[in-house]
């Protein structure tokens, strides 16, 4: 996944010259839930074999399954890409060797800015898979509500686990919506139970077949054959912030003295081709702050 690639690149740039970085992919977004605990056991076995000077956990699932095990060791731990409150996964009053980087998707701000770009839009559909991170977004960002009004736009948030149902929502979108926001889709499976998240097929298919403009929340969902863009988060920023914390710890600062940080407040990223496709012209104030892709 491009998110993983970009945060790992930032980690390598900051840490790779002095330390050897070893990776273990728990793959919880692709694997069925009944296999997640077994993957956590494999990750733990890898940790025990390596005995590293520091562990970095890359998402909510990794922290959920490994925080308490690692918290019982003296190995410092840095997390990144965490959407939930870390206290949901471990007791910070007891476990003192863990700190890290929170990920706070700027969903509401993104939708508000999209309305500035498409001022006539009245209704928006937000699509997410049913993974743990998506559940956190529903709970924390949308207050557990599937329907909200944001900047005058009626927003429906739908958590979908099945690829065929996702496709139907997209194909039928024009009946009820003026724009679609593509959230997390890495855990989507088809009716046969097979993961469909290969080479960003979901983002590409959604963009190609959507009858209305599509926007994204993360940089990996934006491109000439993906979404138009929006106010997005970058995996690289998460990696940079996690590396800074790791370096502090490796220089002697105890993790308990490092307060969790939020790495990225979002940056505008847009696809020129997708804007041209929908004949959308960005407001000058937004265009001035935008990074571009083809």
The whole domain housing 203 covers 107-232+267-293
Measure the CA angle with vertex 270, ends 199 and 275; round to 5°. 100
Q: How far from 135 is each of 125, 128, 132, 198, 200, CA to CA, in Å?
A: 16, 9, 5, 22, 21
230 conformational bin, left if phi > 0, alpha if psi -120 to 50, beta if neither: left
Question: Are 138 and 44 part of one and the same domain?
Answer: no
Percent of the chain with pLDDT over 90: 83
CA angle (126 as vertex; 128, 227 as ends), nearest 5: 90
State whether 218 and 126 are in the same domain: yes
Give CA–CA dist 66/166, Å, rounded.
31
> Is 282 a residue whose pLDDT tops 80?
yes
Indicate if 25 and 117 belong to the same structural domain. Answer: no
pLDDT digits (tens, 9 = 90+) for 238-280: 999 999 999 999 999 999 999 999 876 789 999 999 999 999 9
Residues 152 and 10 in one domain: no
Domain match, 92 and 215 both: no
Per-residue pLDDT tens for 169-201? 999 999 999 999 999 998 999 999 888 876 688
Strand extents, DSSP E, the chain: 55-57, 77-82, 98-102, 123-128, 147-150, 153-159, 179-182, 214-216, 229-232, 261-262, 267-271, 290-293
Residues 281 and 178 in one domain: yes
**Same domain, yes or no, for 148 and 275?**
yes
Residue 271: which CATH number? 3.40.50.2300
pLDDT of residue 133: 87
Same domain, 98 and 27: yes
pLDDT digits (tens, 9 = 90+) for 12-70: 999 999 999 999 999 888 888 899 999 999 999 999 999 999 999 999 999 999 999 99
Tell me, yes or no, whether 158 and 277 share the same domain.
yes
DSSP string of 2-37, one letter each residue:
HHHHHHHHHHHHHHTTTS--------TTTS-GGGHH
Cβ contacts of residue 264 below 8 Å, gap of 6+? 103, 233, 234, 237, 238, 241
**Same domain (yes/no): 144, 70:** no
| One domain, residues 285 and 141 | yes
**Per-residue confidence (pLDDT) for residue 1, from 0 to 100:** 64
Spatial separation of the C-alpha atoms in residues 233 and 242, rounded to whole Å: 15
The secondary structure of 219-258 as a DSSP string is GGGBSTTSB-EEEEB-HHHHHHHHHHHHHHHHTT--GGGS
Number of independent structural domains in the chain: 2
- For residue 143, give every residue at least 6 positions away whose Cβ sits within 8 Å of its Cβ, in sequence order, or none: none
Distance separating alpha carbons of residues 188 and 166, to the nearest angstrom: 9
Cβ 65 vs Cβ 40: under 8 Å = yes
Statement to judge: residues 152 and 287 lie in one domain: yes
């Amino acid at each position: 996944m491009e998110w993983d690639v970009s945060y790992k690149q930032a980690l390598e740039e900051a840490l790779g010259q002095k330390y050897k970085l070893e990776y273990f992919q728990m793959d919880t977004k692709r694997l069925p839930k009944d296999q997640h605990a077994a993957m956590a056991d494999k990750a733990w076995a890898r940790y025990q074999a390596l005995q590293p000077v520091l562990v970095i956990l890359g998402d909510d699932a990794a922290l959920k399954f490994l925080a308490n095990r690692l918290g019982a060791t003296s190995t410092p731990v840095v997390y990144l890409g965490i959407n939930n409150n870390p206290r949901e996964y471990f007791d910070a009053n007891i476990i003192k060797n863990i700190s890290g980087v929170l990920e706070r998707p700027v969903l509401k701000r993104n939708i508000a800015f999209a309305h500035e770009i498409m001022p006539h839009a009245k209704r928006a559909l937000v699509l997410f898979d049913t993974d743990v991170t998506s559940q956190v977004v529903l709970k924390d960002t949308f207050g557990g509500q599937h329907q909200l009004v944001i900047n005058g736009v009626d927003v429906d948030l739908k958590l979908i686990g099945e690829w065929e149902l996702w496709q139907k929502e997209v194909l039928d979108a024009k009946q009820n919506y003026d724009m679609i926001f593509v959230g997390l889709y890495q855990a989507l499976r088809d009716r046969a139970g097979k993961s469909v998240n290969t080479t960003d097929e979901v983002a590409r298919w959604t963009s190609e077949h959507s009858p209305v403009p599509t926007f994204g929340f993360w940089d990996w969902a934006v491109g000439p054959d993906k979404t138009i863009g929006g106010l997005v988060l970058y995996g690289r920023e998460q990696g940079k912030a996690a590396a800074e914390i790791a370096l502090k710890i490796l220089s002697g600062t105890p993790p308990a003295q490092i307060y969790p940080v939020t790495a990225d407040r979002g940056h505008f990223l847009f696809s020129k081709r997708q804007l041209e496709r929908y004949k959308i012209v960005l407001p000058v104030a937004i265009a001035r702050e935008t990074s571009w892709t083809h």
